[in-house]
């Protein structure tokens, strides 16, 4: 991990790593403007891909990578959005369409709605336009 971070141009004193092996999560904290703001999702995606490629080549298991708690906060926002949409669908008895999301975020929605037996989810669209629709049974 340290070698990858060094190769990406970050100094070791700028970086800390927390590995949660039982949950297969790796959280990176990088104190650098290059990974803040609008660039965070792109840097996170690159890190996630590279780390999991390395782990796969070494026979390791897939891990979820977080960068400066971006993924954790995004999961919280997706869950909050899903709960609000679920309430709306349950009250109105009409389908509620969520904005386009990546596969990981759609999975969060599907798992959250699975706890509501009166609701179901469907994914529609292609590529970057793929979204989840919440419907009443």
Q: Do 64 and 87 share a domain, yes or no?
A: no
Q: Which residue has tokens 């419907």? A: 135
Tens-digit pLDDT profile for residues 112-124: 999 999 999 999 9
Q: Do 76 and 53 share a domain, yes or no?
A: no
pLDDT for the residue numbered 61: 93
Q: Kindly give, in sequence order, each residue whose CB lies less than 8 Å from that of residue 125, ignoring residues fewer than 6 positions away.
A: 100, 131
Cα–Cα distance between 6 and 90 in angstroms, integer? 50
Structure tokens at 90: 């349950």
pLDDT for the residue numbered 63: 95
Instruction: Work out the mean pLDDT of the chain and round it to a whole number.
Output: 93
Backbone phi, then psi, for 118, in 5-degree steps? -85, -5
Cα–Cα distance between 122 and 124 in angstroms, integer? 6
Q: Do 79 and 55 share a domain, yes or no?
A: no
Tens-digit pLDDT profile for residues 40-89: 898 899 889 999 999 999 999 999 999 999 999 999 999 999 999 999 99
Residue 110's domain is classified under what CATH number? Answer: 3.30.1370.50
Q: Do 57 and 86 share a domain, yes or no?
A: no
Q: Do 78 and 63 share a domain, yes or no?
A: no
Where does residue 1 rank: exposed (0-12), middle (13-18), buried (19+ CB within 10 A)?
Answer: middle
pLDDT for the residue numbered 116: 97
* Nearest residue to 66 (alpha-carbon basis) of 45, 80, 82, 52: 45
Residue 11's domain is classified under what CATH number? Answer: 3.30.300
Residue 136 has pLDDT above 90, yes or no: yes
pLDDT for the residue numbered 43: 86
pLDDT for the residue numbered 11: 77
């Amino acid at each position: 991990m340290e070698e990858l971070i060094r190769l990406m141009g970050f100094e070791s004193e700028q970086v800390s790593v927390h590995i949660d092996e039982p949950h297969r999560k790796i959280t990176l904290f990088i104190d650098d403007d290059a990974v803040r703001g609008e660039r965070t999702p792109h840097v996170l995606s690159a890190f996630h891909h590279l780390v999991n490629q390395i782990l796969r080549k070494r026979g390791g298991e897939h891990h979820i990578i977080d960068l400066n708690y971006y993924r954790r906060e995004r999961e919280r926002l997706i869950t909050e959005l899903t709960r609000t949409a679920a309430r709306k669908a349950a009250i109105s008895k009409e389908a509620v369409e969520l904005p386009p999301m990546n596969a990981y975020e759609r999975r969060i929605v599907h798992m959250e709605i699975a706890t509501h037996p009166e609701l179901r989810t469907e994914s529609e669209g292609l590529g970057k336009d793929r979204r989840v629709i919440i419907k009443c049974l």
